[in-house]
C-alpha cells in the first residue's frame, strides 16, 4: 500500500503553436487533479503529469493545451497569466545555469520516444481517453525530470505503481532511441513560473520535409541496433 502524504504541485508546462517570441498563458491545473500520478523526487512526493494551460491573449485566446515542465527552481501558480519568452531548451532554466545542448537533446529524446509510442502527438497533446492516460503522462514527466538531473525514484513506495510501469516502458534500453527528436521543441520561461516545454511550428512544407527526414533517421537508428 502506498503511503498517503501531502502533495505539492511544483510543475506546470505549456505546449501549442506560436509564431512570435512570446505567448501569454495561465496555468489551470494538472490533468486528473487529485487523481494525477505521484512521484518521489529527492525524498519528497510530487504530482507528475500533463499540465493544463489556457492562452490569455491574441487570436487563440481561450484555447487550452497541456505539456510538461522542465525545472524545479520555481513553483507553478494556478490562474496567473504570464507572458512567456520562447527560447532554446539549452538556454533554460531561467533563472539558473543553462542546461546546454546535451541535456536539451536528452529532454527532446524523451518527448520524441513518447510520440513514437503514440502517447502524445508532436505538439505535446494527448487523447485523455486513451488507456492509462494519467500514468503515461506521469511517466513522461518523470523521464523529463530525470533527463535534466532530478533525483527521481520510481521504485519508492510513494510513487504510483502505474507511473512506474509506464516509465519502464518509455525508458526501456531495448527500445528507447536517443536519436529521435521532435521538430520545433523549445522552452518557455517567465519570472515567477516554472519553465515549460513549447512546440514552435514550422511552415507546412518545411514540417513535411523535416518529418520525413526524422522518420528515416529513426528507422535507420533502430536498424543499426539489430
Which position has the grid cell 520524441?
112
Tens digits of residue pLDDT in 35-54:
999 999 999 999 999 999 99
Residue 20 clears pLDDT 50, i.e. is over it: no
Poorest-pLDDT segment among 44-58, 85-99, 127-141, 212-226 = 212-226
pLDDT given for residue 9 in this prediction: 43
Q: Tell whether 120 is covered by a domain.
A: yes
Instruction: List pLDDT tens digits, range 174-198.
Output: 999 999 999 999 999 998 999 999 9
Q: Which of 167, 140, 171 is nearest to 156 (CA)?
A: 167
Number of folded domains that form the chain: 1
In tens, the pLDDT along 28-39 reads 999 999 999 999
Residues 87 and 94: their CA atoms lie apart, in Å, by 10
pLDDT at 200: 87
10 in any annotated domain: no
Q: What is the pTM of this model?
A: 0.82
172 phi and psi angles, rounded to 5 deg? -55, 120
The answer to whether residue 13 is domain-embedded is no
Is 43 domain-assigned? yes
Whether the per-residue pLDDT at 171 is higher than 50: the answer is yes
The grid coordinates of residue 65 equal 493545451
pLDDT the model gives residue 6 = 38
Q: Tell me if 208 is assigned to some domain.
A: yes
State the chain's mean pLDDT as an integer. Answer: 84
**Per-residue model confidence (pLDDT) at position 108:** 98
Residue 209 has pLDDT above 90, yes or no: no
> What's the pLDDT score for residue 73?
86
Residue 2 falls inside a structural domain: no
Q: 144, 28, 139: which is closest to 82 by C-alpha?
A: 28
* Residue-range definition of the domain harbouring residue 52: 22-225
Q: Which residues contact 92 (CB under 8 A, 6 or more apart)?
A: 70, 71, 98, 99, 187, 189, 195
Q: How far from the centroid of its chain's Cα atoms is residue 61's Cα?
A: 22
Query: Using CA atoms, how far apart are residues 93 and 226, in angstroms rounded to an integer?
Result: 37
Q: Which of 75-89, 157-171, 205-219 has the lowest mean pLDDT?
A: 205-219
Q: Which long-range contacts does 208-211 make (Cβ < 8 Å, 24+ apart)?
A: 210/183, 211/183
Q: Is residue 14 part of a domain?
A: no
Per-residue pLDDT at 214: 39
In a domain, 170, yes or no: yes
Q: Round the CA-based radius of gyration of the chain to a whole number and report it.
A: 17
187-215 core/surface letters (b: 16 or more CB in 10 A; e: else): bbbbeebbbbbbbbeeeeeeeeeeeeebe
> Considering only 80-84, 124-128, 143-147, 207-211, which range has the smallest mean pLDDT?
207-211
Grid coordinates standing for 177? 532511441
pLDDT of residue 97: 94
Band of the pLDDT at 167, cuts 50, 70, 90? Answer: very high
Amino acid at each position: 500500500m502506498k503511503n498517503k502524504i501531502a502533495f505539492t504541485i511544483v510543475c506546470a508546462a505549456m505546449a501549442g503553436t506560436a509564431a512570435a517570441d512570446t505567448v501569454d498563458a495561465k496555468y489551470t491545473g494538472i490533468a486528473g487533479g487529485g487523481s494525477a500520478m505521484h512521484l518521489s523526487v529527492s525524498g519528497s512526493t510530487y504530482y507528475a503529469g500533463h499540465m493544463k494551460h489556457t492562452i490569455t491573449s491574441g487570436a487563440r485566446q481561450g484555447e487550452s493545451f497541456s505539456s510538461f515542465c522542465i525545472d524545479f527552481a520555481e513553483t507553478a501558480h494556478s490562474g496567473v497569466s504570464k507572458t512567456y519568452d520562447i527560447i532554446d531548451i539549452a538556454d533554460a532554466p531561467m533563472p539558473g545555469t543553462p542546461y546546454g545542448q546535451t541535456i536539451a537533446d536528452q529532454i527532446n529524446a524523451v518527448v520524441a520516444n513518447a510520440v513514437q509510442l503514440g502517447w502524445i502527438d508532436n505538439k505535446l497533446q494527448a487523447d485523455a481517453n486513451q488507456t492509462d492516460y494519467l500514468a503515461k503522462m506521469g511517466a513522461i514527466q518523470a523521464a523529463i525530470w530525470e533527463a535534466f538531473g532530478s533525483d527521481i525514484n520510481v521504485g519508492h513506495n510513494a510513487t504510483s505503481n502505474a507511473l512506474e510501469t509506464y516509465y519502464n516502458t518509455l525508458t526501456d534500453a531495448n527500445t528507447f532511441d536517443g536519436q529521435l527528436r521532435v521538430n520545433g521543441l523549445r522552452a518557455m520561461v517567465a519570472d515567477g513560473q516554472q519553465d515549460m516545454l513549447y512546440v514552435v511550428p514550422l511552415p507546412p512544407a518545411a514540417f513535411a520535409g523535416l518529418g520525413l527526414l526524422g522518420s528515416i533517421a529513426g528507422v535507420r537508428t533502430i536498424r543499426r541496433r539489430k
